[in-house]
Amino acid sequence: MRTPILAANWKMHMTVGEALAFAEALAPLIGDAEGVEAVVAPPATALHSLGEALAGTPVKLAAQNVHFEDKGAFTGEISPLMLADVGCAYAIVGHSERRHIFGETDEMVGKKAGALLAHDIRPIVCVGETLDEREAERTFAVIESQLDGSLADVPAGRATDVVIAYEPVWAIGTGKTATPEMAQEVHAFVRERLTKRFGDDASRIRIQYGGSVKPGNVFELMAQPDIDGALVGGASLEAESFSRIVLFDRTEESSS
């Protein structure tokens, strides 16, 4: 049984005040969020305050990035130790914006995932192909090599603490969503690769879909056998919209 995990990636949006207002608005909308896990990843400046606001609620705190060292001369970076200190349960690593804008490699993503696990923070490891790669029919090869590199430092026995987010780059922030069938095809491939690497544990690893998820399409996506959650950018910035995504199984397949 894989508990669905619905995560908000706010990227470079939200002041501390806005983050706190969101938390206040979200709480009554999702209640105890029974049967699902809701996660919010604010910018680093809001982690501490939002962490305090979320304490005692079912919503978990996540970071959007991390460095793999605990401390040192790495100006501008934040360590897993620091994320643990402010109560992060999760951290996103290898988001396509980190890979494509900031040049993160699979090796770096792998080290980050390993460092997070050492501090009992669960990594949300993002993988996904670009439009050019999809059109060149390289989707599976790209996903395979991203998974191999990004999971290289995950110790045996910790696989089920990892969440994979399959996010086709061409669907992020574009309004273009992979059809549920297209997403499922890649999720099944991811599960197959995870099984090769981690054996039976792979059946308990959650695989999120990300790319223009919104209240109107989350239900159909979540109905796919290997889609266990969503990583959501734009539609997670409003509490009402994110709450409908979190409660996908209790809202009607809706209009927006």
What number of chain residues touch ligand PEP (CB under 6 A)? 14
What does the per-residue mask of binding to ligand PEP show for 152-171, with x meaning CB under 6 A? ---------------x----
Among 43, 51, 114, 233, binds ligand PEP (CB under 6 A): 233
**Is the C-alpha dihedral spanning 122, 239, 210, 215 positive or negative?**
positive
Q: Does 43 bind ligand PEP (CB under 6 A)?
A: no
- 10 vs 198 by CB, closer to ligand PEP: 10
CB-based contacts of 167, cutoff 8 Å, min separation 6: 95, 96, 126, 127, 128, 209, 210, 211, 231
How far is Cα 101 from Cα 45, in angstroms, rounded to an integer?
Answer: 21
**CA-wise closest residue to 231 among 140, 97, 114:** 97
- 26 vs 213 by CB, closer to ligand PEP: 213
Is 185 a catalytic site residue?
Answer: no
Asked whether 1 and 36 are in contact (CB, 8 A), the reply is no
Interface with ligand PEP by CB under 6 A: which range of 59-67, 72-80, 148-156, 229-237? 229-237
Count of helix runs (H) and strand runs (E) in the chain: 10, 8
How far is Cα 167 from Cα 118, in angstroms, rounded to an integer?
Answer: 25
Residue tagged 């900031």 (tokens): 102
Among 61, 232, 239, 246, binds ligand PEP (CB under 6 A): 232
- 180 vs 210 by CB, closer to ligand PEP: 210
Is 48 a catalytic site residue?
Answer: no
Among 80, 168, 210, 229, binds ligand PEP (CB under 6 A): 210
Q: Does 173 bind ligand PEP (CB under 6 A)?
A: yes
- What are the residue numbers of the active site? 95, 167
